[in-house]
Structure 1
């Protein structure tokens, strides 16, 4: 509510001129420029919370059951906040591109024995990070459809944005494979939103290369490796240290040939 009031004030005094123009009708009707916008609340690191409390991750049935209870409780609280304030609230699997790294780093400094997502790699000098929201850990060994079944119970509880990333080692063999896979997922599961995320590389001399290549297989030149961080395809070496550590752990889903 403090953020909302500050944003409202900044808009009124002209610090957001374009937003002020486009939202002027909202202000005239409801008495505030941002009254038709949601206050978004999310969580980060549910998997690691479970590891620290009980020694099991979110892929464990009891871990998932607890995560469902947490999300249901958060939804109930947000309804209370809406009634108290008259403003709209939503529960979102927030991207946490920076927070998943920053919060893990701070916690690890304060509490050295706390478990983070990549505990073994941290011991070897890599940056710590938390698994985003209620997602499965980056190195989870469930196959694609087991993972979708697991996440269906959680991702359908969010009232805001959520996503299931399908990490692919390289692009699918054809657009028909992609179309068939997407159709199968959305006819079998209630997952709201998915991505198909292949890893690819770019050589200055030979252009696009399928898969991860730190050096070009044709000329040996250094390549830029691209993958998705949160919602964007970007060079991996431009990600923050925590997200780079996550990329190093990502287990790719096996989706080969035509999908039946």
Structure 2
């Protein structure tokens, strides 16, 4: 599938669906851990186009979802008498094995990049469950997991699908289409993303909201047209067999709706809202005026996309585009065309990601969360807030409490902890930021002291 897609591949209900196989095959914990290790190593082998590692995301339920508890288990195509709700202990085995393998890293102590696990935090989440301690240890050491916040949300875990490091889809939209989600829940995604250059928009329409929103609407029309053309081409090429894997997996949707890509969204994103505010009103997004301007922009874009859904009959959503490359590319182009345009960076210009605060704006985590909360909740197609920590969290309890505090006090839909660590080729994992390994330095010093001592002894013997 990765050979047919530019973005990520996601696997929903990973532990729930695999748990019955453990009992069916009578596997020991060591066998489960070996299988998980094999899976993780395979996920980190460059097998994608361009010799890249497949970008994969898995959703770990931890406990059996309500909509699957009474569902009959299917193994090797056969329906069994048991239900998924009967395999909670096996789910714990999978989660423990996964966390332990990720904690160990590879032979040199380096982190595994994929798959990225998503854990759903609900109001009845069991924070005291000792079975989940390896998950919290993994979070404290590497910050690998992403957390989907359903505590302060009108959605339940059954309503959302985390497709990659950002894209989250609202399954309620799919239910409205009819035909239900049974058997086709994960068969969704995005056919493509078009990112709108907000700083240029702010610069060209300085101080004039009427022309600003008029041009934004025009750019969104261009984005919509390109996505509609792409959708038609995808349908045509899939029908002709040029996407054989997608054609196979989406065949059920084709039978029900007449199209392969009906359940896939068209995504419009934005970049550089901070610089858009700077160019438009002379104030950054951190200011009350800049924040309100960003909220107004997001609300406008959401309303326009609702119109597109009604007129085209296709799903549209608004995403906080990751923009790792777009951030620099668009800023460089704009600086050449409009030398007076404001951007971040001195020698190398760049735009701040989506509606994020400027880099290094504040070290106060809760100040940043309070600012971003009303912005991040307005995205319908996904966003993520990275909680950058200067060091490793030293205890499981501290890790749990931080994740819990964010979930209970903010509406932030999707967030992750990002502790700072370094990897030495010789000594592996090091907590904190190091440009030179302190252990290597100490060993080098000991080696020098040892060599000096040996030289001293030789000189003394020579003198005698």
Structure 2 length-normalised TM: 0.45
SS of the equivalent of 1:42 reads: strand
SS of the equivalent of 2:422 reads: strand
Question: Within 5 A, what are the aligned runs for 1:116-135?
Answer: 116-118=343-345, 122=346, 125=347, 127-135=348-356
Q: Deviations over 1:45-98 (max 9, x none)?
A: 000011112221101001000111100000000000011100000111121121
2:329 to 102, 111, 130: 102
SS of the equivalent of 1:219 reads: helix
1:7 to 225, 234, 241: 234
Q: Deviations over 1:167-208 (max 9, x none)?
A: 112211112111001111111111111110112111111111
Task: Give the distance between the partners of 2:389 and 2:293, measured in 1 at CA.
Answer: 29
Aligned to 2:382: 161
Aligned to 1:45: 272
Task: Give the distance between the partners of 1:132 and 1:197, measured in 2 at CA.
Answer: 17
Aligned to 1:196: 417
Task: Give the distance between the partners of 1:164 and 1:72, measured in 2 at CA.
Answer: 19
SS of the equivalent of 1:43 reads: strand
Task: Give the distance between the partners of 2:279 and 2:410, measured in 1 at CA.
Answer: 30
Task: Give the distance between the partners of 2:277 and 2:380, measured in 1 at CA.
Answer: 23
Question: Within 5 A, what are the aligned runs for 1:105-254?
Answer: 105-118=332-345, 122=346, 125=347, 127-141=348-362, 143-220=364-441
Aligned to 2:282: 55
Runs (4+) of structure 1 exceeding 4 A deviation are none
SS of the equivalent of 2:267 reads: strand
SS of the equivalent of 1:38 reads: strand
In the TM superposition, residue 146 of structure 1 has moved relative to its aligned partner by: 1.4
Aligned to 1:82: 309
Q: Does 1:73 align with 2:300?
A: yes
Unaligned runs of 5+ in 1: 222-260
In the TM superposition, residue 142 of structure 1 has moved relative to its aligned partner by: 5.9
Task: Give the distance between the partners of 1:200 and 1:6, measured in 2 at CA.
Answer: 45
Task: Give the distance between the partners of 1:57 and 1:142, measured in 2 at CA.
Answer: 17
Q: Which has the higher Rg, Structure 1 or Structure 2?
A: 2
SS of the equivalent of 1:153 reads: helix
Task: Give the distance between the partners of 1:220 and 1:50, measured in 2 at CA.
Answer: 47
Task: Give the distance between the partners of 1:77 and 1:134, measured in 2 at CA.
Answer: 18
Task: Give the distance between the partners of 2:276 and 2:316, measured in 1 at CA.
Answer: 24
Measured on the aligned residues, the alpha-carbon RMSD in Å equals 1.4
In the TM superposition, residue 104 of structure 1 has moved relative to its aligned partner by: 1.1
In the TM superposition, residue 36 of structure 1 has moved relative to its aligned partner by: 0.4
Unaligned runs of 5+ in 2: 1-227, 443-464
Aligned to 1:23: 250
Task: Give the distance between the partners of 1:108 and 1:93, measured in 2 at CA.
Answer: 23
